[in-house]
Structure 1
Amino acid sequence: MVITGASAGIGRATVRRFAADGYDVGLIARGKDGLNAAASEVMQEGRRAFVVPCDVADAEAVENAAERIENELGQIDVWVNNAMVSVFSPIAEMTADEFKRVTEVTYLGYVYGTLSALRRMRSRNRGTIVQVGSALAYRSIPLQSAYCAAKHAIIGFTDSLRCELIHDQSDVHVTVVEMPAVNTPQFSWVKSRLPNKAQPVPPIFQPEVAADAIYFAAHHCRREVWVGYSAVKAIIGQKIAPGFADHYLAKNGFVSQQTSEPQDADAPHNLWSPVDGPGGGDYGAHGSFDERARSYSPLLSLVETIPGRQLTMIGVGLGFAALVGTSLLASNSKRTRC
């Protein structure tokens, strides 16, 4: 298997998950220290690892990486697009270059990875492409406009691709895993203009939960996999009452993305290049929210045991119930004109 963004966070946890189940792993990311540490973990499982330092915003570099990995490890069975960057900032304070950079990595990086995977998988008529998505692909939140837009774009691109694969009667499978908030190191290195340090919006899940979902998606024919009840609530809520979600997030979406600790305005960030962490450039899989993060998702357990169509109906019901409950709680609050 090949994974982008392999050096840290969800990518790092996913590397461990696949290696533990017997996969050789091609690792793509910018940070060499994190890549080498991830490769060591693969080899500790008795599997082969091949590291390719690469910025996924460079289509030629991604294609060269795919070629080198196949030459070293053999045919690619699973390709996971996961690399991302973001900026926490009000839109009015964003620059054009920041929007461009987030788009090139977080959206076009998925496109380039998918194209490289397809060049190899279509001729063999087999293989799986997993897009690591987010509930924010359906329900945008304030202060992460570039990231949310990129995740929306991934859904549009993947839906088109899925239709074409069906039309061609191809056995290449493409799937999307919609993530909830995850305890990853990105909140330590993301570029931010917020007054306080950034945090994932609770409830927070450990990256191993995300890795299990990615592994499941790679081995089961599901169109999408939703991870965490909070993701279901956001996705279904957006379909049922997007206007209510706008006002709710306008009121709550700023505070919920920040801790009580002040943000250092001069803190290094990884938008343009990797940054060093406590272990040099190796951040590992976990962020700084271990005490608040959940290591188990009941919804993911349902996903793994219940057929897809039945699960969709359950998800709609849960999301609708959550939305009604939130609406009732908000009904006594001051109304905002529209």
Structure 2
Amino acid sequence: MAEHARVVVITGASGGVGRATAREFASRGDRIALLARGEEGLAGAAEDVRQAGGTPLEVPVDVADAAAVDRAAERVEAELGPVDVWINDAFTGVFAPVRDIEPEEFRRVTEVAYLGYVYGTKAALARMLPRDRGTIVQVGSALAYRGIPLQSAYCAAKHAVQGFHESLRCELLHDGSGVSTTMVQLPAMNTPQFEWVLSRLPRHTQPVPPIYQPEIAARAIARAADRPRPREYLVGGSTVQTVLGNRLAPWLLDRILARSGYASQQTAEKREARAPANLWRPADSADGRDYGAHGSFDDRGRAVSVQQWAARRSGRIAAAALGTTAAAGAVTWRLLRRSKK
């Protein structure tokens, strides 16, 4: 095992971005605690970690259960050692207009995609603060800044995580704590969530293009864990443009998304009537399938982010954002002209 090996906890580790992130840290020889509900996905993630050179620990847990998350953290420290990095990435959602989402479904998404982050953060803080060291990474989204149609529950949860993160960061700075927190805002990713998300749309769901491969997110999350000083990392040019566009002309984005937001989140294929949904139970428990890190959009997924390449070399995400301001302004101008036609 490498001398620099760390203990890294990843929630939502059985698939998608969490799965790719586990492989990224494992390639460094780290000890990885994999937290998720699905047994098939956890087993696959553990094998990925072993193949990449890391040490896995499978911890079945529902992050919506605060006591269970704390017990999971206790087990991790007992079996792997003190937690150095805690990454909150668990996800669930519902694709439907607000009128078609049940109250209990809103509650469930909030419990997983927001409160799950709160419970994970508190479990990490309970162990990191007495040691005065450690890093917490919140995996966010461009949708933490800009709500879009058909994903109201998920957008609301990401907005909540953003506010929670900012409050916690201020408190840690006030205390002069050696514990750090940062947030990584992601673009549309090619992950299995579009295979298993609960949907009431007539056609198959898809990420809003441009679509990026989960390994881009994994590298950004690892970099954030290494350098948590920035308050957040914006990943992908589309994320930067979304954040800037929403600050400059949110009213314009309202109208554009009202026109294009429904079609851009659906393919031409009809939705399968019996498609798995992971809102109440893991998708792999229904069909015994390990979904892995990638979704069904590999032919459209971008394996490289020019914005991230520039950010790594500048040393500051702000520099990358400034470098794309002109492009974002041009896009906003084009959209403005289009909206007037």
TM-score bracket for the superposition, by shorter chain length: over 0.9
Q: Please give the alpha-carbon distance, in whole angstroms, between the structure 1 residues aligned to 2:309 and 2:106.
A: 36
Change (3 A) 1:277 1:252: farther
Hey, what does 2:332 align to over in structure 1? 326
- Count of residue correspondences: 333
Hey, what does 2:126 align to over in structure 1? 119
Hey, what does 1:315 align to over in structure 2? 321
Deviates more, 1:216-225 or 1:150-159: 216-225
Q: Please give the alpha-carbon distance, in whole angstroms, between the structure 1 residues aligned to 2:268 and 2:45.
A: 32
Deviates more, 1:266-275 or 1:18-27: 266-275
Aligned to 1:286, which of 286, 294, 299? 294
Aligned to 1:30, which of 37, 54, 62? 37
Q: Please give the alpha-carbon distance, in whole angstroms, between the structure 2 residues aligned to 1:328 and 1:5.
A: 38
Q: Within the alignment, does 1:139 sit opposite 2:146 as a pair?
A: yes
Q: Which runs of 5+ in 2 are unaligned?
A: 1-7
Change (3 A) 1:167 1:8: same
Hey, what does 1:240 align to over in structure 2? 248
Change (3 A) 1:172 1:297: same
Q: Please give the alpha-carbon distance, in whole angstroms, between the structure 2 residues aligned to 1:278 and 1:163.
A: 42
Q: CA deviation at 1:278?
A: 11
Aligned to 1:97, which of 104, 109, 126? 104
Q: Within the alignment, does 1:182 sit opposite 2:189 as a pair?
A: yes
**Counterpart of 1:131 in 2: which secondary structure?**
strand
2:185·2:239 contact (CA, 8 Å) conserved in 1?
Answer: yes
Hey, what does 1:224 align to over in structure 2? 232
Output the amino acid matched with 1:55: D
Q: CA deviation at 1:298?
A: 1.0
State the Cα deviation string for residues 218-248 of structure 1 (Å, max 9, x = none).
0012211111000001011111110001001
2:28·2:54 contact (CA, 8 Å) conserved in 1?
Answer: no
1:137·1:148 contact (CA, 8 Å) conserved in 2?
Answer: yes
Change (3 A) 1:295 1:61: same
Hey, what does 1:62 align to over in structure 2? 69
**Counterpart of 2:58 in 1: which secondary structure?**
strand
TM-score (norm 1): 0.95
Hey, what does 1:7 align to over in structure 2? 14
Deviates more, 1:49-58 or 1:318-327: 318-327
2:139·2:183 contact (CA, 8 Å) conserved in 1?
Answer: yes
Q: Which runs of 5+ in 1 are unaligned?
A: none
Q: CA deviation at 1:302?
A: 1.8
1:225·1:303 contact (CA, 8 Å) conserved in 2?
Answer: no
2:148·2:155 contact (CA, 8 Å) conserved in 1?
Answer: yes
Aligned to 2:311, which of 299, 303, 308? 303
Q: Please give the alpha-carbon distance, in whole angstroms, between the structure 2 residues aligned to 1:50 and 1:285.
A: 18
Identity of aligned residues (%): 56
What do you get for the CA RMSD once the two structures are aligned? 1.6
Q: CA deviation at 1:334?
A: 4.4
Q: Please give the alpha-carbon distance, in whole angstroms, between the structure 1 residues aligned to 2:226 and 2:238.
A: 24
Q: Within the alignment, does 1:18 sit opposite 2:25 as a pair?
A: yes
Q: Please give the alpha-carbon distance, in whole angstroms, between the structure 2 residues aligned to 1:19 and 1:210.
A: 15
Q: CA deviation at 1:282?
A: 1.0
Q: CA deviation at 1:315?
A: 1.2
Hey, what does 1:166 align to over in structure 2? 173
Q: Please give the alpha-carbon distance, in whole angstroms, between the structure 1 residues aligned to 2:250 and 2:290.
A: 40
Q: Within the alignment, does 1:256 sit opposite 2:264 as a pair?
A: yes
1:136·1:152 contact (CA, 8 Å) conserved in 2?
Answer: yes
1:236·1:316 contact (CA, 8 Å) conserved in 2?
Answer: no
Q: Within the alignment, does 1:276 sit opposite 2:247 as a pair?
A: no
Q: CA deviation at 1:277?
A: 8.4
Q: Please give the alpha-carbon distance, in whole angstroms, between the structure 2 residues aligned to 1:224 and 1:253.
A: 26
Q: Please give the alpha-carbon distance, in whole angstroms, between the structure 1 residues aligned to 2:20 and 2:270.
A: 29
**Counterpart of 2:283 in 1: which secondary structure?**
coil
Output the amino acid matched with 2:50: M
1:177·1:225 contact (CA, 8 Å) conserved in 2?
Answer: yes
Change (3 A) 1:43 1:313: closer
Change (3 A) 1:329 1:68: closer
Output the amino acid matched with 1:112: Y
TM-score (norm 2): 0.94
**Counterpart of 2:284 in 1: which secondary structure?**
coil
Q: Please give the alpha-carbon distance, in whole angstroms, between the structure 2 residues aligned to 1:217 and 1:257.
A: 29
Q: CA deviation at 1:324?
A: 3.8
Q: CA deviation at 1:330?
A: 3.8
Q: Please give the alpha-carbon distance, in whole angstroms, between the structure 1 residues aligned to 2:32 and 2:272.
A: 36
